[in-house]
A and B are shown apart, each in its own frame.
Chain A
Amino acid sequence: MTVEIRTTGVKPLRNTFEHIARRFGDKPATRYQEASYDVQPTVNFHYKPLWDPDREMYDVRRTEVVMADWYALKDPRQYYYGNYTTTRAKQQDAQDRQMEFVASRDLVRALPEGSVKTLIDCVIPLRHYEFGANLNCAHMAAYGFGSIFTQAAMMASADRLGMAQHLSRIGLLADGNTGEALAAAKQQWMASPDWQGVRREMENLFVVEDWFRSFVLQFVCADGLLYPLVYNRFDTAFARENGSVLSSLFDFLVRWDKESNRWVDACLKVVAQESEHNAALLKAWITQGHAEWKAALAPLADRMMGEAGGEALEGVSEDFKARVNKLGVEI
């Protein structure tokens, strides 16, 4: 007797959801595509929002920027809930190990007294900056248009809360878990002249209604200057005198900045390329935001790095200009 083994392929009738197939054709879609594209409702809004009766619940007119298709704002990291949470969970484990290592040897409190004070005065207040950024991201997620953007904004919002906590933990490492460093840092944020520029700009950002403008000011202008200034320039200067303990605690923040910028840059580029109207808006917003944040950070740069502060801020500002010019926004 002969046995013939044959394989039979069963072709699926459809490869993905219909709304995804309309966009990408009927072929297997990635999880990111299935979880992100055209998820937000666009029709059948029966009730106008009472707080904004001239607009719909989801409305493209909440920003001055105009896009033919808001789903062009793709996140190059392709984060959707599933892979975002797995990635962050892994990174949190790594960060926890760094923190434990530093805590078990009490490396922060072993620093010279002046260095610990610099840390408390110049870095720990940034947890208030991160809380502010958390609020701004939530605003973008709430009023933005297109699930592909709003989901990334919501994830960023969670990231900012996490980073505020990282900074708080660094504060607790500096004061032996008494919370004194956090109270002192809050005092800096509230009262020290060095911080009032940053605090004022952050509070001005809270009342920006245009959600894309809010995105540009927070992620491009504020983070674009503050992150390289603190987590790169200041960190290098601090490490020169105190060793690399702070660098190891900043590890996640630095990686996050690099990773997040892939998303920010992609969004900025797409919007700038869409039309001259958009490019002109971005140019105006970024020119103003860059000038305001640079001025706000100047006293802080001096406080952090002394005489080298001004030079460091100039360097960061030049890098910033080069970056946005490359993305199609001439400033």
Chain B
Amino acid sequence: MSTQPVFIAFQANNDTRPIIDAIMQDNPGAKLNEMPALVKIDCPGRLVVRRETIEEHAGREFDLRELQINLISLAGEVDESEDEFILEWKS
């Protein structure tokens, strides 16, 4: 599996906090870079965003497509289901 880094970047606001907390919890290799008004999460190889963990942090039901509202940019090939949003380089 490729260890080339993937990343995902969100606006830094109250809506994205549970998403960011969830990503950091589920991806031990992820590194959090806080910039002005923007949060970028880098991770070598593979990064998983899990619906269940976000729901735990947000305290409500969460549709993974809600990610798009505050999404700024990402790098990696996307594999998306109702429960997981995965970023990785497949080749």
Docked Cα-Cα span, A79 to B18, in Å, equals 15
Mask: chain A, 1-38; 1 = CB below 8 Å from B; 0 = not: 00000011110000000000000000010111000000
Q: CB distance A77 to B35 under 8 Å?
A: no
Docked Cα-Cα span, A28 to B16, in Å, equals 12
If the complex has contacts A30-B14, A30-B17, are A77 and B36 also in contact, measured as CB distance less than 8 A? no
Contact residues in B for A315 (Cβ distance below 8 Å): none
Contact residues in B for A75 (Cβ distance below 8 Å): 59
Residue pairs across A and B with CB atoms within 8 Å: the count is 21
Q: CB distance A77 to B59 under 8 Å?
A: yes
Secondary structure type dominating chain A contacts: loop
Q: Given known contacts A7-B36, A9-B35, A77-B59, what 9 new A-B pairs fall within 8 Å (CB)?
A: A7-B35, A9-B34, A28-B17, A30-B14, A30-B17, A31-B14, A32-B59, A76-B59, A78-B60
Docked Cα-Cα span, A25 to B35, in Å, equals 20
Contact residues in A for B14 (Cβ distance below 8 Å): 30-31
- Which of B14, B35, B58, B59: most chain A Cβ within 10 A? B59
Name B's A-contacting residues (CB within 8 A): 14, 17-18, 34-36, 58-60
Contact residues in A for B34 (Cβ distance below 8 Å): 9
For residue B14, which residue of chain A has the nearest CB? A31
Contact residues in A for B36 (Cβ distance below 8 Å): 7-10
State the interface size on chain A (CB cutoff 8 A).
Answer: 13
Docked Cα-Cα span, A28 to B36, in Å, equals 14
Name A's B-contacting residues (CB within 8 A): 7-10, 28, 30-32, 75-79
For residue A28, which residue of chain B has the nearest CB? B17
Docked Cα-Cα span, A79 to B60, in Å, equals 10
Q: CB distance A78 to B59 under 8 Å?
A: yes
Docked Cα-Cα span, A233 to B60, in Å, equals 27
Contact residues in B for A31 (Cβ distance below 8 Å): 14
